[in-house]
């Protein structure tokens, strides 16, 4: 189940005791920004008993990808090929150029997403990381929501079996491409989990990206792709053991 929340600004610390919480919040946000920028992979920590026991089932005929050492699962699009990328715990490439799906897992000193500052703060930092990349012409957030569990699970199962997450979708124009990005982040067992899917827009060429005229034009630009539905379904199937 998802609940949309308006973006919120960062509030100043009320007292000195907030310093530790602010430090944990900055740790997660910096990890998120680093993951978005494509940092090198970190060595996975030893699996816990809970992670090893975690599994997920689905009514779909698509095979479920499950990471017993990390404690997450998802349903990758059936025609997408498993691949690899520096910094990614799992990675797939789609049939279209620029169509990708990847999972990054990073250690953080946070118990849950609430310590990161909320849906709006995490989303703002995510977009800031995109804007800071070389070649970015513009990025516009199209949706943001708090997700209490996986959509194909019952409400009771979602509350107990899956960690809550923040889901974002935004349109991104760079000097090389024009695409939609769908991403979801969760915190569990001392780790930050990020799944990101990218689908090229129709006419997603350098010329099309440049023609949007910055973020003002990007907000009004249409971005459609048959692969986008597959990316959304894969990200929405992402489940992290609490």
**Tens of pLDDT along the chain (242 residues)?**
555 543 333 333 334 444 444 444 444 555 565 554 443 333 333 443 333 333 333 344 568 999 989 999 999 999 999 998 999 999 999 987 889 999 999 999 888 888 888 999 999 999 999 989 998 888 889 899 999 866 555 545 555 678 999 999 998 888 888 889 999 999 999 999 999 999 987 655 555 555 555 555 565 555 667 889 999 999 999 999 98
Residue 201 forms part of a structural domain: yes
Reference 11, options 124, 131, 165; nearest CA is 124
41 assigned to some structural domain:
yes
The answer to whether position 4 is within a domain reads no
Q: How many domains does the chain have?
A: 1
Residue 67's φ and ψ, nearest 5 degrees, are -105, 100
- Domain housing 143: 15-240
d(CA 205, CA 199): 13
Please state, as a whole number, how many other Cβ atoms lie within 10 Å of the Cβ of residue 232. 16
In a domain? residue 2: no
- Give me the phi and psi of 86, to 5 degrees please: -55, 130
> Has this prediction a pTM greater than 0.85?
no
> Looking at residue 88, which CATH number applies to its domain?
3.40.1000.10
């Amino acid at each position: 189940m998802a609940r949309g929340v308006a973006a919120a600004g960062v509030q100043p610390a009320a007292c000195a005791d907030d310093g530790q919480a602010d430090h944990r919040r900055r740790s997660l946000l910096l990890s998120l920004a680093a993951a978005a920028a494509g940092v090198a992979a970190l060595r996975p920590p030893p699996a816990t008993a809970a992670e090893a026991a975690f599994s997920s089932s689905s009514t779909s005929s698509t095979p479920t990808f499950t990471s017993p050492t990390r404690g997450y699962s998802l349903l990758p699009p059936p025609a997408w090929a498993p691949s690899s990328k520096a910094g990614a715990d799992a990675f797939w490439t789609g049939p279209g150029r620029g169509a990708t799906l990847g999972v990054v897992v990073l250690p953080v000193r946070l118990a849950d997403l609430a310590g990161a500052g909320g849906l709006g703060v995490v989303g703002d930092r995510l977009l800031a990381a995109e804007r800071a990349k070389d070649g970015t012409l513009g990025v516009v957030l199209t949706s943001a929501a708090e997700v209490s569990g996986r959509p194909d699970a019952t409400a009771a199962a979602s509350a107990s079996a899956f960690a809550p997450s923040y889901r974002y979708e935004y349109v991104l124009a760079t000097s090389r491409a024009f695409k939609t990005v769908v991403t979801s982040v969760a915190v569990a067992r001392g780790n930050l989990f990020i799944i990101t899917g990218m689908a090229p827009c129709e006419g997603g060429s350098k010329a099309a990206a440049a023609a949007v005229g910055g973020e003002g034009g990007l907000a009004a630009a249409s971005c459609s792709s048959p692969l986008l539905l597959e990316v959304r379904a894969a990200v929405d199937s992402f489940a992290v053991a609490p």
